[in-house]
Amino acid sequence: MDRNCSRRSVLRLAGVGSLASLAGCTGSLGGGGTTVRISGGVGPLPMVEVWADLYEDRSDASFDISGGGTGVGVSDVLNGQVDIAMMGREPEPEEIDQGLFAVPMLIDTVVATVNVDNPVLEELQEDGLTREQLEAVFTKEITNWGDLVDADVDEEITVYGRSDASAAYKQWGDFLAGEDGAYTESELEELADANHNGDQPVAEAVGSNENAISLNNINYVYDLSSGELEGNIRPVPLDRDGEGLSEDEDFYETRDEFLAAVEAGEYPAPPAREMFLASNGPFEDEAYDFVEWVLTDGQAYVRENGYVPLEDARLEEAQENLAEGP
């Protein structure tokens, strides 16, 4: 099946407000060599699409790529339906026991998001919210915007969650709970007013409800071409010390500023997270060659596409693990 749009055009257009037009753009490609089949997390999908485009220019390989979420990718690769799974989290012990073998590929992050017309957006952008405040919102301890910030507002907070097997949502649950454990995705789903299947539907839901709050991958928050805030959702700055948004915590105006903060550790992990490429047993043949390229030359394209590359030591470790196998 030939694609009806290039992967580079997918990424270029994948800002909020244009994502809906991209549905169906992913699919199998023609090509004279081996076809590498990939499925899984929607967070790393845009970057893997770009890598695949670039790698095709350097090899005889072609790619058949689809999303579906980390859980889908893991199931597909363990069942032999794909060669590589994209994962937004580390493999679980039971998945490793079944043969899953993963290597990190980059660092991504999610951030709380609200509507551009949120009734307390000015206060949120000036002071941010602490982890504890976000936990209270997502667990429904606080349900009114006027009770959350110092503003004369009486508007109920609408909380949106994820209904798919979302690694981003799992990381968000880890972050919200602090050092006391973690909220499971199931717990957060039950507390939410509504849940949506995938990052794009969440962004659209928040963008159409001025009282909504949720979380999104930053590539659904900032325009991918300009790196500016141009859609209908805005990030909620994180106040890490509870004393308001300091100069060091004020990096949400552009994607580049945000990514630099993630790279410097000024935005915490979680919710920042490593993403992985995984196989059933060792990577083999063209899949191995592709992942090896991702962990070498491919890292040069990470920043310009809205992610943070692995640190040198972590990258070297990933390269060694890939070569040695499980």
**What average pLDDT does this structure show over 201-230?**
93
The rounded distance, in Å, linking the Cα atoms of 302 and 298 is 7
Tell whether the model's pLDDT for residue 66 goes beyond 90: yes
Higher-confidence residue of 243 and 26: namely 243
- Start-to-end CA span in the chain (Å): 34
Tokens of 156: 């109920």
Give CA separation, 159 vs 43, 169, 203, 205, in Å. 21, 13, 12, 10
Assign domain 36-106+274-324 to its CATH architecture: 3-Layer(aba) Sandwich (3.40)
Q: For residue 304, what pLDDT band results from cuts at 50, 70 and 90?
A: confident
DSSP string, 172-206: HHHHHTGGG----HHHHHHHSSEEESSHHHHHHHH
- % of the chain surpassing 70 pLDDT: 90
Question: Taking all residues of the chain, what is their mean pLDDT, rounded to a whole number?
Answer: 88
Tokens of 274: 């490593």
Tokens of 152: 């004369």
Identify the burial level of 1 via C-beta atoms within 10 angstroms of its C-beta, where 0-12 means exposed, 13-18 middle and 19 or more buried.
exposed
- Amino acid in the structure at residue 74: V
Q: Is the dihedral of CA 254, 257, 262, 265 positive or negative?
A: negative
Under DSSP, the state recorded for 153 is -
Tell whether the model's pLDDT for residue 7 goes beyond 70: no
Question: Which range is least confidently modeled, 50-54, 219-223, 316-320?
Answer: 219-223
- % of the chain surpassing 90 pLDDT: 72
The rounded distance, in Å, linking the Cα atoms of 177 and 181 is 6
Nearest to 240 by CA among 250, 228, 230, 226: 250
DSSP string, 66-78: EEE-HHHHHHHHH
pLDDT at 32: 55
Q: Which of 1-5, 17-21, 23-27, 148-152 has the highest mean pLDDT?
A: 148-152
Residue 158 CB coordination number (10 Å): 18
Tokens of 26: 């992913």
Class of domain 109-264: alpha beta
Nearest to 220 by CA among 18, 36, 48: 18
Unique residue bearing structure tokens 């199998």: 28
Rg of the chain over CA atoms, in angstroms? 19
Omega before 270 within 30 of 0, i.e. cis? yes
pLDDT at 2: 34
Q: Does 36-106+274-324 match 109-264 in CATH topology?
A: yes
The pLDDT tens digits of the residues spanning 10-20 come to 443 333 333 33
Under DSSP, the state recorded for 210 is T
Tell whether the model's pLDDT for residue 31 goes beyond 80: no
Tell whether the model's pLDDT for residue 173 goes beyond 80: yes
Residue 254 CB coordination number (10 Å): 15
pLDDT at 30: 41
Return the bridge partners of 38, or none: 65, 84
**What average pLDDT does this structure show over 79-89?**
96
Q: For residue 142, what pLDDT band results from cuts at 50, 70 and 90?
A: very high
Q: Where are the domains of the chain?
A: 36-106+274-324, 109-264
**What average pLDDT does this structure show over 93-101?**
97
Cβ atoms 279, 83 nearer than 8 A:
yes
The rounded distance, in Å, linking the Cα atoms of 111 and 235 is 6
- Amino acid in the structure at residue 87: M
Q: Which of 3-12, 164-173, 232-241, 243-252 has the highest mean pLDDT?
A: 232-241
